[in-house]
Amino acid sequence: MEYSQPLELDGLISEIHIFISGNLPPVWATLTEGIIVLAALLISYAAIALVLIYAERKVTAFFQARLGPNRLGKYGFFTEYSRYGKNFDQGGYTYQQGG
């Protein structure tokens, strides 16, 4: 498969479509392609949100004359992952004893 431009995805997308529609019935092929598109959108929005939150924290740190998020990973990029984990862990779960 040859590409004429660096970011041309038409050939790749058409090969994925041919593979899916060749192995699944039409209804399931359409459903599978829809799920793949939704997953790609969700992942791209999450990645954009992480980058924008990181940039906002760095700009805020610059305004406050401090280093900013620099605890986890190179340049503090994994700080947001640790905050997401901390917030998920504090979800307000209640455990009942006995039975």
* Predicted structure pTM score: 0.58
Q: Which domain holds residue 57?
A: 12-89
5 domain residue, yes or no: no
Residue-averaged pLDDT of the chain: 79
Question: What is the number of domains present in the chain?
Answer: 1
79 domain residue, yes or no: yes
Residues 50-89 as b/e (b if ≥16 CB within 10 A, e otherwise) read eeeebeebbeeeeeeeeebbeeeeeebeebbeeeeeeeee
Paired tokens of 96:
């009942």
59 domain residue, yes or no: yes
65 domain residue, yes or no: yes
Residue predicted with more confidence, 12 or 71: 12
Nearest to 81 by CA among 54, 42, 62, 48: 54
96 domain residue, yes or no: no
pLDDT reported for residue 48: 93
26 domain residue, yes or no: yes
40 domain residue, yes or no: yes
2 domain residue, yes or no: no
CB 68 within 8 A of CB 61: yes
pLDDT reported for residue 64: 82
